[in-house]
Amino acid sequence: MREFDIPLFYKSKVISSVKKMRQETDSRKKDYTPSVLDFGPVVFYIARHFGFCYGVENAIEISYKALEENPGKKIYLLSEMIHNPEVNNDLVSRGVSFIMDTSGSLLIPWETLKPDDIVIIPAFGTTLEIQKKIDELNSHTISYDTTCPFVEKVWNRAASLGKSGFTIIVHGKHNHEETKATFSHSKENAPTLILRDLNEAKILGDVILGKKSDEEIKELFKIFRDRYSKNFDINLHLEKIGVVNQTTMLASETEAIANYLKDIMIKKFGEKNIREHFADTRDTLCYATHDNQRATLALLEKDADIAVVVGGYNSSNTSHIVELCEEKLPTYFISSSKEIESDKIINHYNFHEHKKLKTEYYLPQKEKVKIILTSGASCPDAIVEEVMNKLLSYFSNTRKTDEVLNTLISK
């Protein structure tokens, strides 16, 4: 896989070394077991796959290239480059301004932008409506479009299905930038509907099978308000469907929704006719999301005491990793080492209720503490290492880092 030119300060000695070692010994990712960094009184289980993915590294490389190639020019980002505060703050410190926040609200009026200003499209992509506004500004955006190639793959697949008469079901969070972009592109070529989870898929399944009256359908579709394309006709547009995903959603959840809806279509149209009514879209699943999920599940097979997950609090893929960890053990979702006040107190985020929490005595009082450590796809290795070192500092008589790394590499 291609190597990207990203700033050195996003890399780290320990975490990047562990990743490199695993890549060299398991380039095809057949082994998802975690790396074990045994410092004596504390052990860290490091996920086989986590941190910057292909799309994020691509976006960072292009963004810093835009800064380097345009000294003295005003440079704008449509919204956050990726959902990581450290990365976004660094770009802001270098003079980049955000046009919108992550909800789509304008921070800078469009009319203040000049034709020779630089506008960078973030990794999530953007809607056709916003792209039109940018084009009207006659900016140099084309050279600095950081849209993830796997997001574009979803768009292209949706367009292809639409031209073949299929309705597109998007598995995603309707207010997420990527889902907004995917919906915008998809509805140009096909009737499109956004589903959040399997429960909403089951509602749709009942509608497809005719289990709801017209009045019930009318009420049910209030759930999907603002989540379906103009002139969507449930009597016409649910005969042929294909499921694509917001790439930051759990791959297993997208597969569960697709499998459920496929079974519904089989019930309605029969097994022998299924290809005419349900499209196989497994090729749109993001490899990084899939790998992160499998690596997290392998982490959870270890007998750990706590999990620490690092990433931006508005990061969808990070929240799903947290969700998986929470099912098994105490999990602390933090944005950086600054959230760790001491060996007694940690500040962390409850993404279910969207609020910060403070927990005391989070580190178990035992002879050997075992900690799962991982991060989302938009978190730099350097930040993960800072978290590890902060936690490590609370233990005495620990083994030297070089010794631990040499032990790991010599295995």
Task: List, in order, residues 6 or more apart from 278 with CB less than 8 Å away.
Answer: 240, 241, 242, 261, 262, 265, 266
* Token duo for residue 6: 């990203």
Asked if residue 336 lies in contact with residue 310, where contact means CB atoms within 8 angstroms, the answer is yes
Ramachandran region, residue 108 (left: φ > 0; alpha: ψ -120 to 50; beta: rest): beta
Ramachandran region, residue 113 (left: φ > 0; alpha: ψ -120 to 50; beta: rest): beta
68 is catalytic: no
- Please list the residues that pair with 100 across neighbouring strands: 106
Please pick, among 57, 178, 253, 385, the residue that the annotation labels catalytic: 178
The rounded radius of gyration (Å) of the Cα atoms in the chain is: 23
Asked if residue 186 lies in contact with residue 170, where contact means CB atoms within 8 angstroms, the answer is yes
Task: List, in order, residues 6 or more apart from 265 with CB less than 8 Å away.
Answer: 208, 241, 274, 277, 278
Asked if residue 325 lies in contact with residue 296, where contact means CB atoms within 8 angstroms, the answer is yes
CB atoms within 10 A of CB 404: 21
Asked if residue 139 lies in contact with residue 115, where contact means CB atoms within 8 angstroms, the answer is yes
- Report the side by side order of strands in the sheet with 192-195: 192-195, 167-171, 241-245, 278-279
Distance of alpha carbon 242 from alpha carbon 407, whole angstroms? 48
* Token duo for residue 14: 């320990």
The label of the residue with tokens 């399997």 reads 198
Write out the H or E segment, with its range, that includes residue 98.
strand 97-98
Catalogue the active-site residues. Answer: 178
